Each structure stands twice: as structure tokens, then as C-alpha cells.
Structure 1
Amino acid sequence: MTFYESINFGEIILYMIIQIYEIQTPHEAEALIEAGVDHIGSVLTPEGSLKRSLLKETIDVARSSASKSSLIPLFSEMDSILHVLDFYKPDIVHFCEDLNKYRNNRPGLDSLIDLQENVKERFPEILIMRTIPIPQHGIADLFSPIELAKIFGNVSDFFLTDTVIMNNAGPIP
């Protein structure tokens, strides 16, 4: 499918976006562009330097095509996020913290909202994707996905829903 190709079911039109992550080299990005992938995502871990030339080249390859580049920073410190967005300039930044750990920590949740507000203000050209966890049926002590969508709605351009798998110890990462 091409970006935002629609599927028409009578009155309902669905848009499917094909998104693949863990792309770390320009060669991988080129192959996915050729295959018609819409969002080509890369992950940035906090270990080592936050400026990685090969990752920058990978994001640039995706940005120069019909595909969109997406970057998941696996950290949420404001200065570091702003620094990497200024360097990599992805089309989309994808925030995917485990929001349920903030269930009883509203100041922590507010810091994530503040982060996204700052990103929107400083980088209006970068779209923001926020992962919203979807708990298994019957789990009441986790955030409602609707509640989270309302909380993050004004500071997000996309939501990606992700099922939360639980065991006796809690959510499985």
C-alpha cells in the first residue's frame, strides 16, 4: 500500500499505514522504500553518543523519499530529546513510554505532556506519535486508553495502540 491508501467499506473508509521499526542502515531503508513501506522507523537508545552518523543517513534516506522517517528515542529527558530532534530532523517522533507506570504519578505524566508541548513548539514540522497501551480485558488498575487519548490528544498527531500483555508480576515489556 502507498501512504494513506484507502480501503472503502461502504460508508467507512479505512487508511492503512505500513510502519516498520528497527531500521538502522540506509540500505535497509532503501529496501523498505522500494517495498512501499509508509513509515520507516529507527530507534535511538541512550547508550553512547546520541549523534550517530549512520542513523542520520538512514533517516535522511527515508525523508528524501515518499516514505516518512520515524524516530523512537528510548529516553524522555527534555534536553536530550530536543537535541536529537534538532540533529536527526525525522518526519515523526514516536514516544512510547510505559504510561501505566504514571497511573498514580500525575507529575510524571505531566512531564511527558510538557515534553510533547515543547517538541510541538520548537519543531512544528515534526509530527508526534504517542503509543497508547491497550490493557487486556478485565484489568482495571491500568489507564483507560480513552483517558490517555484525551490526556495526550492536544499534543499528539498520531496514536499507535499497543496491547499490554500481563503476567502475575505486571506488564510484560
Structure 2
Amino acid sequence: MRHTLEQVFHSGKFIVGFAIFMFLLLTVFIYPLFVKDAPLGIIAQGSFFPPGIYVNTYDSINATDIYTLNLKDAAANRIASKLSNDDRTAMKDWLVAAGIPADQIDTNDTAALLGLWEKNYDAKKNIPGMIFAQKRYYQRLNTSIQGILSTEGEIIAAINPSTGT
């Protein structure tokens, strides 16, 4: 047995693998001694519910406990999913056609672009050379970006037919 272990420990591949395995094994045993937080609470970043909690729609709407889901770059991803570069360019084209100088429009500054858009866009305004399909596109775009910069939570509610509230 001793001779076999000596032969195994002369292999470089085995020593590297054994070192990695021991590092992982020791980390599993030593890490909890220093960090006293809940393991799943560390990993989940606010989305971990303790075991045994079932969350349904009624409970989540009427709950006294509020859980916040922390996602990295969530606002930027939400804006990017609703306002593509093509949409930004189209907004700039409409604003230029409406009489706003092109040098005042920065498509990279989302807040300024949306401010100009909200201030100047009018679905009833006729722009020379614009076909009906383009007018509909701008109307759909305007509808899709309503409240895009809002950081307030959404309220989901339905009227109770028995009480009327």
C-alpha cells in the first residue's frame, strides 16, 4: 500500500487534481466558520425565500413582508429592451422632421431624448412625407415607452365586485 501511494504521488497530474480537491474540500468546511450569514441568502441577492414558503399571487399582493429582488443593471436592461438603437434613431428622425435641430438631440442620453420626445411628440401632428405606417409606428413606440424611466413600483389591483372598491 505504501509503495502504491508513493507511485501515485509522483504523478504531476494527480498532485494538481488532489490539491484542487483538497482546496475545495477545506473551503467547504472552513468558510462557514468565518461567515455566519445564511448560505442561500448570500447567493440569492434578495430573491431567496426560506424553505417551506410557497408564494402565490394572493400572498404576494396582500403580504406584510416585502421582498426586494436585486438585479444587477436591471433598469438599464429594462430600458434597453424597450428602447432599441433603431427606436432611438427613429425618435431622432421624427424630432428633426418636427423642427428640432439635430445637434440638440443626443440619442445616447436616454433621459434627455425621452424629455424631448414627451415635450414635442404629438400623434395628431402631420409631418410632410410621412406615410400612415410610419405614423402608426411612432404611436406604438410612444405607447411602449410610457413610464420607461419610472422607478416606482407597479400596483396590481382589481375591483372587488361585492364592495366596489
More helix as a share of residues? 2
Greater per-residue strand proportion: 1
The TM-score by the shorter chain falls in which range? under 0.3
TM-score when scaled to structure 1? Answer: 0.20
Specify the structure having the higher radius of gyration (Cα): 2
